[in-house]
Amino acid sequence: MGGSPGHLDSRTGRPIARVFVRRARVCGMLGAVAISEATAMSERFIGEEIRPVTGAPSAGRFVPGEPVLPGRFTWRGAEHEIVDVIETHHELGPCRSGSDEQYVRKHWYRVRTNTGREMRIYFERSPRAGRRQWRVFTVSESEDIHE
């Protein structure tokens, strides 16, 4: 990928790692199950909150114990509609009371929106700030996404 700056942090403009690790439960353990380098459709780190549109239908099927994936959400003042769910997975973490159990910490989704953007969004079950929330992690650079 000669000369390409790779992935840039949207706030600092500095390069971030070009390798993404997807985590999932493997035989009862937390393990890396897929590692892939950025392709021609590179991703840009965002790390911002998104707000589901109240009353919008869900973009995915109902799964007990999982959050309802919003069909529409607002981000940076614009409304986006999820038109395709490309991939889903969970991020696990240890029990906070000291047992050996693993718990789902984040629900991850790779989606395509009506604007043509591909986004990695997640729902954090137990955020440090205390309020459960949806966040956009990365956005494809197929369109210009300036702040």
The torsion angles phi and psi of 45, rounded to 5 degrees, stand at -65, 135
Compute the distance between CA of residue 23 and CA of residue 73 in angstroms, rounded to an integer: 25
Q: Tokens for 1, please give them.
A: 């990928």
% helix, strand, coil for the chain, step of 5: 0, 55, 45
User: For the chain, which ranges sit under pLDDT 50?
Assistant: 1-7, 16-39, 143-147
Largest CA distance in the chain: 48
State if pTM tops 0.85.
no
Q: What angle do CA 39, 81, 45 make, to 5 degrees?
A: 40
The residue whose two tokens read 């911002």 is 48
* CA atoms within a 13 Å half-sphere pointing along the CA-CB vector of 15: 8
Q: Name the residue type at position 1.
A: M
For the chain, give every domain's residue range: 42-140
pLDDT of residue 59: 83
pLDDT of residue 94: 87
pLDDT of residue 83: 96
pLDDT, tens digit (0-9, with 9 covering 90-100), for 126-137 = 777 677 789 999
pLDDT of residue 55: 87
